Amino acid sequence: MTSQHTQTSRYWLMKSEPGECSIDDALAFENSTVPWVGVRNYQARNFMRDAMQVGDGVLFYHSSCAEPGIVGIARVASTPYPDPTQFDPASHYHDPTSRPDQPRWLLVDVQVIRKTRNLSLPELRAHPALEDLTILKKGNRLSITPVEAVHWQLISKLLSIK
């Protein structure tokens, strides 16, 4: 019998600051597909590196803004590859300690499937069934978190998506 120590999520929530890249900004990219630059947290990087698969569902979340919430449905659109901004001295995300022959930071492409209404934090919190959604837990700061299938299904329902 094979040992499966971790059950890999097929659904994710990814935070973006609308001042950096809003859902509308993402939709303006070719094929509504954006390179998810700027992740500088090892746990979030490892999700992209080790667990994400092309086609996985993504909840596009606006953070650090007036109305934080889920604003769109997207999908993982590439395998992981080095985040070019880590080597760009002009970038806010520049990491002078990362070497091109051993890139520290990775990204995946994310394709927006559709913009939705803003499913706000208070509305999410109003559903007891979403109590364990990582984004709703106290002190959560991770910019990429796995989403359980049951949570994905309920959120899809709340957004009137089949």
Partner DNA sequence: GCCAACGTTGGC
- The strand pair at 33-35 and 69-76 is best described as unpaired
**Beta carbons of 72 and 35 less than 8 angstroms apart:** no
Give the separation between CA 16 and CA 4, rounded to whole angstroms: 32
Give the separation between CA 160 and CA 147, rounded to whole angstroms: 18
**Beta carbons of 58 and 12 less than 8 angstroms apart:** yes
Count of residues engaged in binding DNA, rule: CB under 7 A = 18
Q: Is 9 helix (H, G, I), strand (E, B) or coil?
A: coil
Window 84-123: contact mask with DNA (x via CB under 7 A): -------------------------------------xx-
Q: Of residues 15-54, which lie at the interface with DNA (CB under 7 A)?
A: 15, 17, 40-43
CA triplet 11, 78, 41: central angle to 5 degrees?
65
Q: Which is nearer to DNA, 43 or 55 (CB)?
A: 43
* Token couple for 74: 């997207």
> Which range binds DNA by CB under 7 A, 1-9, 77-85, 133-141, 148-156?
133-141
> Which range binds DNA by CB under 7 A, 4-12, 25-33, 72-80, 141-149?
141-149
Nearest distance in Å: CB 35, DNA: 17
Nearest distance in Å: CB 33, DNA: 22
Nearest distance in Å: CB 98, DNA: 11
Which residues lie closer than 8 Å to 101 by C-beta, 6 or more apart? none
Q: Does 143 bind DNA (CB under 7 A)?
A: yes
Positions that interact with DNA (CB under 7 A) = 15, 17, 40-43, 63-65, 68, 121-122, 138-143
